[in-house]
Each structure stands twice: as structure tokens, then as C-alpha cells.
Amino acid sequence: MFVVQSNAYPMIVEIPESTERCLRLNIPEDDDAHLAFVALPSSTHDEEDGNLPKWILNYKDLEAHFFNQMLEMSKSRKKAALPQRFPQDPPEDVKASIESFIQYFEGETKSGCQVMLSNPESSTTRSIDAFWFTPLVVNHVRKATRAHENTREASPLEGFSACITNTNEDYPVHIIMDSVLTSEEFGVGDDVLSEDESFQGSHLTPLAEQLADSMAAAKSIIKEMNYMERRESRMRLTADSINARVRYFSYISVGVLLLVTYVQVTYLKRYFKKKKLL
């Protein structure tokens, strides 16, 4: 599993045929994030062919164009959300490569890749199909993976996960992925630091604001301690299981050693008796 660093450059992940790759996105408690994906064909499965199609010959320009478009998408946010389309149309050579690919794959626009977003704390998942050369944008990941729209769910310490499954059996797929954190002011329907309405609004005194911050910090510490306790419990169970296996292996080793010793002694006795040495 890869760990995605928000506000970094887009990353390219190769998804082999009939394979699933999962990425983890850590979102701060008082923040949200946007995710963007675009599916590109991989040229590795046709590198050994003699007569290469045009889209493979121009693959570097094709990949560079969409990589740059992902960068431009993160810069052209409107109202703290990513646009659903690329800012610029592809140049003529890239457009010709796209048409060559669509023709090569008999007009199929569905990439065969599916992106599944999940929140491990609420066991909520959301699956979306990815299409060739088309941006797949998920704004406000925390809201998109909530169990109920009007409920407040804290960010899990394990992080949100995005699993990309390639159902194609013949060729791998390249996925360009980008993530952007939001740092906008909280409004109606957004997550807040405190669930108590007495600590919300523009009329808060500095003392109330400090108290709200202290409560949020205390909740975060308690949540982290609970997570560490659960992880320690899992590690203890794993250690107990390993110790039990080592103990059973020791018993078996002693048993085999005693059996081999008995067989050797019995064989030597019979051998000496046969030779009339005993």
C-alpha cells in the first residue's frame, strides 16, 4: 500500500492486469481533500511488436500532456473544488494518439479500472469506474465516504484508502493520481472542531476558543491512544501466535529427535546381535 502525500506532484501508478493496488491518504482532523485520477494505457504489453500503433510511438508526449493537465487542475480550483474537466484541450499530436488508441481498441472508452474509496472507521465504500483519458474527480473525500450525509465522522488514524482494480486480463494500465488538501473556512454543513453548538459562531470569546481548541486536542489524543491500544492488542495476539508456533515446533523437534534416537539404538542392537557381538 502506497501512502499519498497531499499537495505534492501527481504520481503515476502502474496497475498490472487483474491486479489491485491500494493507496492511503491521511487527512488532518479539521481538513478535507480532493482526489483526481486519469487512466492511461500502458505501452509495455506491446513493446515487442514490430508494427507499433501511433499512440505507442507518441506515448511519452501523451503521458506528459495528461501529467501536466493534472498539475493545472490542482492550480485552477474554483470554490475550493477541483474541476471535472481538464483545463486545456489536447494538442493535435496527442489528439491523434488518442484517436489511434480508441481505434486500436475498437472504440472502447471504458478502461476496465475501478476506483474504490473507503473510510475504515465507518466501513463505507464508494466505487467509481474510470474511462480512458477522462479525469475522475472526487471532491471532498471525507464527505464522499460518509455513512450518512449529515453525520460527522472524524478522520481515521489509519487514513482513507483508494483501491484501484484493473479487471483487464491482457494489459496493464497507468493511473495518474493527484490529491489536494482543502483549508477553507468552515461553513454550513462542514466539519467543525466541536459538536457543541455553544462553541460555534463568530461571537466566541478568546477563552471559549481556547477551550474549544483544548477539547479538540484532547479528543485527538484520546483517539490516538485508543488506536495505539488496538494496535498493541493486535501485536500482542501476533506475538502470542508466533510463540505458540515456536513452542509446537520445539515439541515436534524433540519428538522427532527421540524417535530417531530410538530407531538408531534399536538398529544398533539388532546389528550387534546379528554379528554376535552382544
DSSP β-bridge partners for residue 24: 3, 161
Domain borders along the chain are: 2-187, 203-278
What digits encode the pLDDT tens for the residues 153-192? 566 666 788 889 998 887 889 899 888 887 644 443 444 3
Scanning the chain, the segments in alpha helix (DSSP H) are: 54-57, 59-75, 92-104, 141-144, 206-274
Q: What whole-number percentage of the chain has pLDDT above 90?
A: 14
The answer, yes or no, to whether residue 270 has pLDDT greater than 70, is: yes
Average pLDDT over residues 195-203: 47
pLDDT category of residue 7 using cuts at 50, 70 and 90: low
Q: What is the mean pLDDT of the chain?
A: 79
Q: Would you state the pLDDT for residue 148? A: 61
DSSP letters spanning 93-107: HHHHHHHHHHHHTTT
Q: What are the cell numbers at 56?
A: 505507442
Average pLDDT over residues 12-25: 86
What digits encode the pLDDT tens for the residues 212-259? 788 888 887 887 887 788 788 888 888 888 998 999 999 999 999 999
Q: Which amino acid is at 265?
A: V
3-state secondary structure of 206: helix
Q: Would you state the pLDDT for residue 261? A: 93
Q: Would you state the pLDDT for residue 152? A: 58
Sign of CA dihedral 58, 61, 67, 72: negative
Q: Would you state the pLDDT for residue 255? A: 94
Q: What angle do CA 100, 129, 123 make, to 5 degrees?
A: 155
Q: Which residue in 162, 166, 101, 109 sits closest to 134, CA to CA?
A: 109
Question: Which range, 20-29, 45-54, 82-91, has the best average confidence (pLDDT)?
Answer: 82-91
140 touches 34 (CB < 8 A): yes
Average pLDDT over residues 94-107: 85
Q: Would you state the pLDDT for residue 124? A: 73
